[in-house]
Amino acid sequence: MGKRAVVVVIGVAAFAAGCGGSGGQKTAASAPARGATVDRRPPLPRGWRRVVNLRSGFNLGIPPGWTARGVRGATLVRSRDRGLAVSIAADYGQQGQALAPARYAAATLRALRGYRPLRLGSARPVRGTRFAAASVTATGVYAPTGVRQAVRAIALQRRGVVTFSLLVFRNVRVAERVYRRALDEIVRTFRAQPAGP
């Protein structure tokens, strides 16, 4: 595994350990069933495949050659070149139900550990999704490696029910435009579904 991939993996591990929900993140397994809906799945681009997280109640498309696996109730998606990783989780707790998407995304970034310093940008709207949504970007040096990373938190919310957080880690050596189209499609194909144990 090259240096580029290692940096991304470490960043995702920090989030998967429970830093991402601005405190008190609850998984779908402990969430009440009320408000659960099945979203109609859109067609995927050619060659893409759909990834389903039954426990947390969501599904999405990923590009050819990208991988996905479960990590502590979340789903971890990695690009083919391993220069980008996306950790996706569901928060059915109080903050996930009520905190505005822009505030949720910013709080998710502030909860990350190991960065010095992590400089946050302004919240921006997210287009092409059926959810109330916002994203916030940040850059910082991951202290254990001394390598600079770009991190983006995307919050997709069904108010009163759940906020899905997509935490995107990118090695700054790879330009954002390399992954832009794939990330836009991942968000566009993201859908909710009833969560199970």
What topology is assigned to 3-192 in CATH?
Answer: Protein Transport Mog1p; Chain A (3.40.1000)
Instruction: Quote the pLDDT of residue 36.
Output: 55
Q: How is 88-115 classified by DSSP, letter by letter? A: EEEE-SHHHHHS-HHHHHHHHHHT--SE
Question: Is the distance from CB of 84 to CB of 179 less than 8 angstroms?
Answer: yes
Instruction: Quote the pLDDT of residue 143.
Output: 86
Report d(CA 152, CA 13) in Å as an integer.
15
Report d(CA 104, CA 83) in Å as an integer.
25
For the entire predicted model, the pTM comes to 0.84
Instruction: Quote the pLDDT of residue 71.
Output: 85
Question: Is the distance from CB of 38 to CB of 124 less than 8 angstroms?
Answer: no
Domain boundaries, the chain: 3-192
Single-letter code of the amino acid located at 122: S
> pLDDT of the chain along its 197 residues, tens only?
444 543 443 344 333 333 333 333 344 434 444 445 678 899 999 999 999 999 999 999 999 999 999 988 899 999 998 889 999 999 999 999 999 999 999 999 999 988 888 999 999 999 999 899 999 999 998 888 888 889 999 999 999 999 999 999 998 888 999 999 999 999 999 999 988 76
Report d(CA 139, CA 149) in Å as an integer.
6
Instruction: Quote the pLDDT of residue 30.
Output: 42
| DSSP structural state of residue 12 | H
Instruction: Quote the pLDDT of residue 21.
Output: 34
Instruction: Quote the pLDDT of residue 13.
Output: 38
